[in-house]
Amino acid sequence: MASAAVALDRAPVLRTEKLSKTYRTGTVEVRALVDVDFAAMPGEFVVILGPSGSGKSTFLNLVGGLDQASSGKAWFQEHELTALAERGLTRYRRDHVGFIFQFYNLVPSLTAMENVQLVTDIARNPMPAADALAMVGLSDRMKHFPAELSGGEQQRVAIARAIAKRPELLLCDEPTGALDSKTGVMVLEALATVNAELGATTLVITHNAAIREIADRVVHFGNGRIVREERNAVRKPVSSVSW
């Protein structure tokens, strides 16, 4: 498949250095993330694999500005994320990051179109909401409320909402976790299209090892650390994947 040009010669979009997160509940300490060094290049499509509790979601939350690190540093382009306060992180999410979750997290009282408009209302340089929906193949479902859409359609609305701001970074946490294989493939197609057309660096967390072949790079998490990385010489087209 036509891959987005991964600009390996340019500065990374996202970089971390000894990024760590420790949760404390009473006297119990859980080290969810331990000294993670990571970098992602512009346009790169990275799949993150690992068992439950391996630290992959914690990692995504930290680089997405949803949570604060306990130690270590993270940069988005030249901005140090770990130095930002609440307000700065909000700004970062608003302007640069698109999120996609397992359970879609659409606003049930807004139509597909309005869910996307939520983002275009506040983003700095958004694309028209209708264009975002067209990109994920939902032009004919724009007026529908989430309850009137299938799971796959809902997840595609979530993708449209995430990309409408033209994000530099697209973070997906188990985007196909709640979907069957056929629907999941459609969602992955949408993600791959967005990655190719917008050049957004895409990080996809999954349990699903079948997805690894569509990525530029696969990162394996275990016990809060990156245990292994592999790079695919060729990205397989999404249509060849199934589970």
Number of residues in the chain: 243
Q: Which two tokens stand for residue 36?
A: 């993670």
Amino acid letter, residue 161: R
Query: How far apart are the C-alpha atoms of 196 and 188, rounded to whole Å?
Result: 12
Position 117 contacts other proteins (CB under 8 A): yes
In angstroms, the first-to-last Cα distance of the chain is 19
Position 18 contacts other proteins (CB under 8 A): no
Position 210 contacts other proteins (CB under 8 A): no
| Binders of other proteins in range 89-108 (CB under 8 A) | 90-95, 97, 99, 101, 103, 105-108
> Site size for other proteins, by CB under 8 A?
42
**Shortest Å distance, C-beta 52 to other proteins:** 12
DSSP state of 157: H
**Shortest Å distance, C-beta 204 to other proteins:** 16
Q: Say which residues have a Cβ less than 8 Å from residue 119's Cβ, sequence separation at least 6.
A: 126, 161, 162, 164, 165
Position 129 contacts other proteins (CB under 8 A): yes
Where residue 179 falls (left for φ over 0; alpha for ψ -120 to 50; beta otherwise) is beta
Tokens 């891959």 sit at which residue? 3
Here's the x/- map for other proteins, 31-70, by CB under 8 A: it reads as --------------------------x---x--x-xx---
Q: Pick from 7, 110, 134, 210 the residue near other proteins by CB under 8 A.
A: 110
Amino acid letter, residue 31: R
Position 113 contacts other proteins (CB under 8 A): yes
- Contact residues for other proteins, defined by CB under 8 A: 57, 61, 64, 66-67, 86-87, 90-95, 97, 99, 101, 103, 105-111, 113-114, 117-119, 121-123, 129-130, 142-143, 145-148, 161, 165
